[in-house]
Amino acid sequence: MGAYRIIGGRPLEGAVAIHGAKNSVLPILAATLVCGGQYTIDNCPEISDVETAFEILRSLGCTARREGARAFVDTGAAEEREIPEELMRKMRAAIIFLGALLARFGTARLSAPGGCVLGQRPIDLHILGLRLMGADCEYDGETLRCKGDRLRGCTVALPFPSVGATENLLLAALACEGETTICNAAREPEIGDLIGFLCACGAKIDGAGTSVLRVDGGKPLHGTKYTVMPDRMEAATYLAAAAATRGRLVLQGAEPAHLRAVTETLERGGCEIARRPGEIIVRCDRLTAVSPIITAPYDGFPTDAQAPVMAAMATAEGVSVFEETIFSDRMRHVPALRAMGARITATERHAVVTGVRGLHGAEVEATDLRGGAAMVIAALRAEGESRITKTEHMERGYASFVRSLRACGAQIEST
């Protein structure tokens, strides 16, 4: 079990290169299975979730390797229809291989996915759409078996704009006869990136960036070279860290349009933010409370930024109110922030943060990817030494995290 040792109290100053998006590259890697070709994927982040996706592809008979930020994948020899349970347990995004397996082979068998514990995250919307396409989906204990030899185009109206369900249905729709329409589809930029990749492979998909997607199924697909978009959640984390430490950071490679909800929130709190093509500059000398901060599907305030921004608001002047509308158990970082001196009253979906003058070091345990990042941010602000354990959570989604923070003046080391 890894740990970070952090001595806080220093503002972050410098430049950070934003890596490829975790929530984009994982569905893209799953999508390579559908087409059965050779792929070169640039801006592929060096994170443990990507390594797990590589392991899944290899378990299915594919080859996958990397050279720095470039990944090489060949799915032509894939033949397995089942993902080993131990790999499914490693990450939540493994469920995206369901639609890919159905599109490639007409059958799939997998167990419940793992990943961060953020409350109930059922896959009923995934199964709803697949059944409308003609797939037979049944549970055998904790194992899901799906079969769809001849999927057909249809209209799927999602009750909620689920990112995972939208991705799975997009992949399955590639094998459908005729047109599939997905209504109330997720509009996150990562969905647009997946569509961009699929279109580069020969797919015909209309509606990227909107809530209605139309997929003309049955098109011949092929390998391609593709560059993954920058990680907006990594960028949001560094924005929150700059605000918390009253620092100044240049985020190189960030896409300002993808972060509008976060940057506008921090600007209301007193941060100075400049936006240029492929770059965001943030400076914070004084931070005041912002309320309410309500998570929502894109282009609302992202749930993945809730914990990091809460850590920043822990030392803002005034009272901030957070409302979590996406996941039922995404306040698990609150006890750790309290241990560092934050004044937070929280329920399952709400938190009231009364800013304090300063935080102090403590030993805490990361609960999940973004909650762990919030603890790092609080430790960077705190006076004294902090120790954060279970850093494998952060390694799932942040490439070169310690190295990037150290380059900006943070006293942080892995132990």
Catalytic sites, residue numbers: 116
Task: For residues 277 and 293, give the distance between their C-alpha atoms in angstroms, rounded to a whole number.
Answer: 27
